[in-house]
Chain A
Amino acid sequence: MKPVHATLHENLPVIEVADKALLDRLLVDDRAAQYILLRLSDQVAIVGPGQFDLLLTYLRKQGHTPKVIQE
């Protein structure tokens, strides 16, 4: 395979949601927004490296049941 003209971001924590409105809501929640750094699309955003577990704990406390994929 020839080299792809792209940057590979590895070990990057990411959040994906089923619908855009859910990510909208999380981003206006001050606490959740602290941990979510950059929205890449309607449904995907980057979580601050080192803040994955804080976000997970917060979401669970808020009653969400996020699916966690370790790899």
Chain B
Amino acid sequence: MPARSHRFDSFLGRVNADHLKPMARLWGGRSQLRKDECLATILAGLRDPDRVRAAIASLTPFERNALALIKQMGGDTDAGGLAIALRASGVQLPPSRSPYYDNANALIEPLIRRGLLLSGYAYDPGHLYSSSPGECGVFSDDRLLEYISPPEFRSLRIEPTIPPPSSHYRRPPTVVLDVVGLLQAVENIGGLPLTKSGEVQVNAMRKLARAMGWKENTFKVDGLPFPDPDLAFVNALRHSALLIQQDDSLRPREPAGQFATRPYVEQVGQFLYGFLQADAWSEWPKHPWYDGQGKHQTHGRFALTVALGCLPVEADGFFALDDLDRALYERIGEHFSLDYVPSRPYAFHKTPEEIRKEENEWRNKLRTAWLKRERLWIERALSTWLYYLGLVELGMENGTLVSVRLTDLGRAVLHPELDITFDQSSNGGQAAWVVQPNFDVIVYLDRATPKQLAFMERHAERVQAQQHTVHYRLTRASVYRGLESGATLDDLLSELQNSAGANLPQNIVVEIREWAALRERITLRRQARLLEFPDARSRQAALQEKIQGVLIGERFILLDSPDAPIEVKARVDYARPLPTCLSITEDGVIKLTHAAPDLVIEPRLDRWAERRSRDTWQLTQVSVTSALKAGARLGDLLNLLKGRLTRPLPPLLEIALRAWAGDRPNVEMETVVILRCDEPDVFQAIANSKKIKPYLRGTLAPDLIVVESQHVEALKERLAWIGLKLFDTLLIERDDT
């Protein structure tokens, strides 16, 4: 079950007072209570485990089943899905107020009024959305769910059929191998980065598909096509909370190796309930018009899973797909469609005979539509996620799915009350795998524990998986990945050997040791702690104080411990912004205003500028372009300057830096003759004169005209004829601001 926490406390205050009164009755509240008294009564009841148990004992089987189903879904689901799952469970439903009444309204609102559920409707959690009640989320309180038993599945009235000629069946270790492999792949590629809208980035999906060996948009599980596996699995893993969001990426909630040690039922059960809610994925490419959000499909999956839980558990045989389909249709067919359920005919002003006739026609229409759509979808659902998860065994005849039965794993997941357990801890002392001299490892699925499978997924490349064996290959990259995930060389060799039950081939040991030694040639420390001393003597003196670390050069000690407390003269934390310590002039002279305590400012400036003295650098076109040629980016320089300058970068210098990097803005310059006249009437008369126009090049501003240089003398004569006073120079006021 996904780990989500649900409490009514912060929601009840927003419930309309009229709706709170009936909710309080479950906890002994009287109808005259005020709103605050209702709230206090409900919360006091929820806080007291004895009263919770008593309240649950007073529920009807329908109410208990609703809580049991929502508990299976992790404590929340949407109203339409819960309603249809309740119908599929076969439990006695409360009498309907009207056959025309909506599914969710008819079945779920009474549960809300009873105080067992609240809705996700922000304005009034005591109500479902009025526009689309079926898609409104509902949840229960964890304190109620804690004491709820598994759901009651009323057996479908169907009999086992003859055994099929052949069947497909996935053994639990194979299923778990795939789930662990999936989580390991997400771990190996460093998580799945999300877009701003919260979707997994397309590139990350491609990376995962490559890592898993999924080609194009489908992959086959034992020959059965599984469409869009990347979308399906990421969606299901996310909904099952096996992947959670950390730092803008989806990552496994726990390491794959740790997940592998959980019981099969828990691993598969959690993933199953993720599939039930995976609304972004579809079993087939047909997207029904009325199910834009994919909700109908999730409701259908919930109902089908419940129907499988309703297969008679005492019978061990297969059940004909036709029988399962008909039985499920009988329970939900009038209330559910992947697309749209046509309205029941109205009985108003009609004779009983007319009503019967119209209802028969309506039912025939429903069944015909169901057989064309839902029936085919059921086959797809059985042969994709339900088969992948190892919950069903598929009876096949001439390549067609004809019958189905629950596997032991399916019974264990859907019927926890049967207490079916799997031995996952031992392999009877038999070797789990054989390591061959050519680096191939053959893993026997019936002997390997999930922990051993997780080990192999972490340290070797999976080549091929078959029904009983999995073929892996040890490679330099896979061993490196395993060691990087935290294993030691000795752990790796001893686990390989112990699980093989024999000595490893000598060449394998030698090669793996060599690969591990290669890893020791370069060490990258992400967050080292380095002590810098003024000189070798002071470092020597400090060593007397028992500082633990590796001596680096003459003045440094690389500290061993990442968090040992130490009192020092100064600290520089490179995870935080470094202090401002630079000044710069418009012509690119950079000066250290005071001695920078960090070790990175000087080498960085050396990359971009010519050093002129101990504390002065000069940015030049040559220095900047040679840094760029060596692979640096101008953005790095601008960030460095903006982060470390005590005053803003002069805009003209920034333009120069960008120009040196190739981003050259255009400017135009020419020697011209300007005529200025600050009297608008005179200016307009000159500018618009037909006689003068040939002498002019154009207007520059409301009082400035550019004169054609070859006509300057002619224009002067003309202006003198008019009688204007002509000055030879422009009076320009300097702007010194």
Contact = CB atoms under 8 A, between A and B. Distances in A.
Interface of A: 1-19, 22, 30-31, 33-34, 37-38, 40-41, 44, 46-49, 52, 55-56, 59, 64-71
B528 interface: yes
Contacts of A22: 521-522
Contacts of A65: 476-477, 480, 515, 518-519, 522
B527 A11 contact: yes
B471 interface: no
Interface stretch (B172-180, B396-404, B561-569): B561-569
Interface string B207-247: 00000000000000000000000000000000000000000
A67 B567 contact: no
The B contact surface, by secondary structure, is mixed
A5 B572 CA distance: 14
B552 interface: yes
Contact of B604 (A44, A48, A67): A48
B662 interface: no
Given A8-B566, A11-B573, A44-B553, A69 B526 contact: yes
Given A30-B631, A34-B630, A46 B571 contact: no
Contact of A37 (B518, B522, B600): B600
Interface stretch (B261-269, B310-318, B358-366, B532-540): B532-540
A3 B533 CA distance: 12
Given A9-B532, A18-B521, A38 B568 contact: no
Contact of B530 (A4, A9, A37, A69): A9
Which of A9, A11, A52: most chain B Cβ within 10 A? Answer: A9
Interface string B550-582: 001100101000100011111111110000000
A40 B532 CA distance: 11
Contact of B484 (A19, A31, A67): A67
B604 A10 contact: no
A6 B568 contact: yes
24 contacts: A1-B566, A3-B569, A5-B541, A5-B569, A6-B542, A6-B569, A7-B568, A7-B570, A9-B529, A10-B573, A10-B574, A12-B572, A14-B530, A18-B521, A22-B521, A31-B631, A33-B630, A38-B599, A41-B553, A64-B522, A66-B519, A70-B526, A70-B527, A71-B527
A2 B567 contact: yes
Nearest to A18: B521
B504 interface: no
Contacts of A7: 531-532, 568-572, 597
B531 A6 contact: yes
B383 to A, nearest CB: 40
Interface of B: 476-477, 480, 483-484, 515, 518-534, 538-539, 541-542, 545, 547, 552-553, 556, 558, 562, 566-575, 597-600, 602-604, 630-632
Nearest to B563: A71
A6 B530 CA distance: 10
Contacts of A37: 599-600, 603-604
Contacts of A68: 484, 523-524, 526
Given A2-B567, A48-B600, A16 B522 contact: yes
Given A18-B520, A46-B599, A67-B520, 11 more contacts: A4-B542, A5-B569, A8-B530, A9-B599, A15-B522, A40-B530, A44-B552, A66-B523, A68-B524, A68-B526, A71-B562
A6 B42 CA distance: 62
A13 B524 contact: yes
Nearest to B632: A34
B574 A12 contact: yes
B635 to A, nearest CB: 11
A30 to B, nearest CB: 5
A40 B374 CA distance: 70
Contacts of A40: 530, 552-553, 556
A38 B528 CA distance: 14
Given A11-B575, A33-B630, A44-B552, A67 B519 contact: yes
Contact of B574 (A3, A11, A15, A56): A11
A43 to B, nearest CB: 8
Contact of A67 (B522, B529, B534, B632): B522
Contacts of A67: 483-484, 519-520, 522-524
Given A17-B521, A18-B520, A65-B515, A3 B567 contact: yes
Contacts of A30: 630-631
B558 A52 contact: no
A1 B603 contact: no
A1 B565 CA distance: 10
Contacts of B476: 65
B531 to A, nearest CB: 5
Contacts of A2: 545, 567
Contacts of B527: 10-13, 70-71
B80 to A, nearest CB: 45
Which of B520, B524, B532, B567: most chain A Cβ within 10 A? Answer: B524
A14 B569 contact: no
Contact of A13 (B483, B528, B572): B528
B531 A16 contact: no
A6 B575 CA distance: 19
